[in-house]
Amino acid sequence: GKQVALKKYVTGSPKESDLQIITSSIKLKVPEGTKDAVLVKNLYLSCDPYMRWKMSKSDSFPAFELGKAITGNGVVKVLDSTHPNYQKGDLAWGITGWEEYSLIVSPVLIKLDKSDLPLSYYTGILGMPGMTAYAGFYELCSPKKGEYVYVSAASGAVGQLVGQFAKISGCYVVGSAGSKDKVDLLKNKFRFDEAFNYKEEPDLNAALKRYFPEGIDIYYENVGGKMLDAVLLNMRVRGRIAVCGMISQYNLEKPEGVHNLTSTIGKRLRMEGFLAGDFYHLYPKFVEMITPHLKEGKIVYVEDVAEGLENGPASLIGLFSGQNIGKKLVAVARD
């Protein structure tokens, strides 16, 4: 089957040519004598910004192995199993390979019930990004009715949900994104109160003062750098910042400095980083909360689907230039 592999370790911005499509032969059965393993068909693969970290060698994150299928979250169908928890025909989501078929020993996959919601949603709203939005917004920020919420990278996999959660919670929410189409989506589809294109704002501090004359109670941080610096000047007393991601920094050899941290003192700010994986025990509660909202159309989800594994490299790299509109994923096979 086809696989997406890393060709060489990346410095600076990743390019499509840093990845390559290779083929390898795989038997569609778990090899004799291999215990606790599954052989899966990969249906949908999730493009996630953190995968950039694994494209370089570092002390903090194990890198992808060169010349082998890279790994990431996906939706899979079990074709064969020697693991007691998984049977042939099961559908599940979790960490798998960027390839047509994967042999996974000691899988950590969450099984799915077939429902009338799209299977691809388990790469996004019903998967890791959904949990990220839920945990970061509700668990870290404890939103209260009437509070002022700001979300950056607001039209993406995580951001579009945070904005909708803020509305459900009775907050006032403003989002920023990098194009006119994305800003329109924020206002018209996701019902943010206001939205702006940060690329057209020469002075982010002035822009935030315009959208939040009374300041920001909750900042859901996805981009870091200059945006964070401007936000720090506009937070209200006892504001909360959930540090979900800082995508503007991932391709820099030397991260930008943050200058306005002194604001955290007088304003008694709380700034907290987190990983979605720390909150997976809340997954059943999250699914129970989100499913009726989705079915009633109170929460909507926009996906950006690339067809076929060959489009995997461009899809993944495209996250870092804002090519994606909504949750980016690769459809490898539909069933």
Q: Please name which of 220, 272, 228 lies closest in space to residue 248, comparing C-alpha atoms.
A: 228
Q: What residue type is assigned to position 47 of the chain?
A: C
Please provide the DSSP assignment of 130-153 as one string.
HHHHHIIIIIIH---TT-EEEESS
Q: Is 244 in the site for ligand NDP (CB under 6 A)?
A: yes
Please provide the DSSP assignment of 215-249 as one string.
-EEEEEESS-THHHHHHHTTEEEEEEEEE---GGG
Nearer to ligand NDP (CB atom), residue 94 or residue 156: 156
Q: Is 322 in the site for ligand NDP (CB under 6 A)?
A: yes
Q: Please name which of 136, 16, 9, 3 lies closest in space to residue 74, comparing C-alpha atoms.
A: 3
Stretch that binds ligand NDP, among 42-50, 99-107, 165-173, 286-294 (CB under 6 A): 42-50
Nearest approach in angstroms of CB 178 to ligand NDP is: 3
Among 125, 162, 204, 276, binds ligand NDP (CB under 6 A): 276
Nearest approach in angstroms of CB 90 to ligand NDP is: 25
d(CA 88, CA 318): 35
Among 178, 239, 312, 313, binds ligand NDP (CB under 6 A): 178
Nearer to ligand NDP (CB atom), residue 30 or residue 47: 47
Among 70, 103, 149, 158, binds ligand NDP (CB under 6 A): 158
Stretch that binds ligand NDP, among 72-80, 114-122, 202-210, 268-276 (CB under 6 A): 268-276
Q: Is 175 in the site for ligand NDP (CB under 6 A)?
A: no
Q: Are 197 and 226 in contact (CB under 8 A)?
A: no
Q: Is 205 in the site for ligand NDP (CB under 6 A)?
A: no
Nearest approach in angstroms of CB 179 to ligand NDP is: 6
Stretch that binds ligand NDP, among 46-54, 95-103, 109-117, 285-293 (CB under 6 A): 46-54
Q: How far apart are the two ends of the chain, measured CA to CA in Å?
A: 16
d(CA 293, CA 279): 21
Q: Is 37 in the site for ligand NDP (CB under 6 A)?
A: no
Distances (CA, A) of 199 to 162, 208, 227, 322: 21, 13, 11, 11
Among 55, 112, 141, 153, binds ligand NDP (CB under 6 A): 153
Sort strands 235-243 and 172-177 into parallel, antiparallel or unpaired. unpaired
Per CB under 6 A, residues contacting ligand NDP are 48-50, 129, 132, 153, 155-159, 177-179, 182, 222-223, 244-248, 274-276, 319-320, 322, 324, 327
